[in-house]
Chain A
Amino acid sequence: MEIANTSTILTPVPGEHARGVRVTAVQTGIVAGILAVMAGTFFEVRPPEAYGVCMACHGRDLVNWTVNELAGTRLTVAPASLVFPALTSIGALIGALFASRTSREFRWVTPDNPLKTFVYGALVMNFALIAGGCSIRLLLRSAAGEVVGFMGFGGMVAGVVLGTWWLRWRATR
Chain B
Amino acid sequence: MTAAIATLIVGVVLGYLAQRSRMCFIGGIRDFILVRDTALLKGLIAFGLTAWVAFPLAGLFSGLPRYTFDASDVATVALTIAGGFGVGYVSTLANGCPLRQHVLAAQGARSSVTYLAGFAAGAVVFDVWIAPLVLALVP
Contact = CB atoms under 8 A, between A and B. Distances in A.
Contacts, number: 480
B44 to A, nearest CB: 6
A26 B42 contact: yes
Contacts of B111: 110-114, 116-117
B88 A135 contact: yes
A99 B4 contact: no
B2, B13, B91, B94: residue with the most chain A Cβ atoms closer than 10 Å: B91
A160 B3 CA distance: 32
B136 interface: no
B25 A135 contact: yes
Interface string A130-173: 11101110111011111111011111111111111111100000
Contact of A161 (B29, B48, B79): B29
A117 B42 CA distance: 27
Contacts of B67: 49-50, 144-146
A23 B40 CA distance: 12
A56 B115 CA distance: 12
Interface string B102-116: 111111111111111
Give the top 10 A-B pairs by smallest Cβ distance, nearest first.
A91-B11, A159-B88, A95-B15, A131-B83, A25-B43, A121-B118, A33-B50, A163-B92, A127-B86, A125-B122
11 contacts: A25-B43, A25-B44, A59-B98, A96-B18, A117-B114, A117-B118, A121-B114, A121-B116, A128-B83, A155-B80, A160-B89
**Chain A interface residue number, banded:** 35 or more
Nearest to B113: A114
Interface in B19-65: 19-31, 33-35, 37, 39-40, 42-52, 54-55, 58-59, 62, 64
B22 A156 contact: no
Given A23-B20, A25-B40, 4 more contacts: A7-B35, A29-B44, A111-B109, A144-B55
B55 A145 contact: yes
A17 B19 CA distance: 11
A92 B106 contact: yes
Given A108-B108, A160-B26, A120 B83 contact: no
